[in-house]
């Protein structure tokens, strides 16, 4: 994975989390779905991703967060589908590492606790200007 790809992915992660933490459900849903698309492209291309386990975990957590958005939007069928997708990916990661797999509910609770401690971040404008000047 090259620096430009890594930088782009980190920026997208930041944007989607900020939308998830701060914005209306519609905006958060769009941002997280977009980030999931990016992660799927990295995850599906082993040559492109030097961090397959981290990508899979990011994708699993993104699906869980999409499920939480759908649940708060009273779209329980969609929520269950996202929870199932996220949990299936997470189980596969732990299965590959021979670690104990928590229940789906424990994983969702873990994400809740993680999100409660997460604060929105912003990228300083001078850093964005420098990245653009460097061609990122």
Range of the domain at 58: 3-121
Q: What average pLDDT does range 50-56 have in this prediction? A: 74
- Residue pair 53/93 in contact (Cβ under 8 Å)? The answer is yes
Q: Do the domain assignments include residue 114?
A: yes
Q: How many domains does the chain have?
A: 1
Q: How far is the CA of 57 from the CAs of 88, 90, 129, 134, in angstroms?
A: 11, 6, 30, 29
Predicted pLDDT at 102: 87
Q: Do the domain assignments include residue 107?
A: yes
Q: pLDDT band for 54, please (50, 70, 90 cuts).
A: confident
pLDDT tens per residue, range 2-40: 677 778 888 889 899 999 999 999 999 999 999 999 998
Q: Do the domain assignments include residue 130?
A: no
pLDDT tens per residue, range 65-121: 999 999 998 998 999 999 999 999 998 887 766 678 889 999 999 999 999 998 776
Q: Do the domain assignments include residue 136?
A: no
Predicted pLDDT at 100: 81
């Amino acid at each position: 994975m090259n620096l430009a790809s890594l930088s782009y992915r980190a920026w997208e992660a930041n944007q989607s989390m900020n939308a998830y933490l701060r914005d209306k459900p519609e905006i958060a849903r769009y941002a997280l779905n977009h980030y999931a698309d990016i992660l799927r492209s990295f995850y599906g291309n082993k040559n492109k991703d030097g961090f397959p386990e981290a990508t899979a975990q990011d994708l699993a957590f993104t699906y869980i967060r999409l499920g939480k958005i759908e649940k708060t939007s009273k779209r329980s069928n969609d929520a269950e589908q996202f929870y199932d997708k996220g949990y299936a990916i997470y189980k596969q990661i732990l299965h590959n590492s021979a670690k104990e797999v928590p229940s789906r509910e424990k994983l969702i609770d873990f994400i809740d606790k993680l999100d409660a401690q997460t604060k929105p971040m912003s990228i300083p404008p001078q850093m964005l200007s420098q990245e653009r000047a460097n061609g990122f």
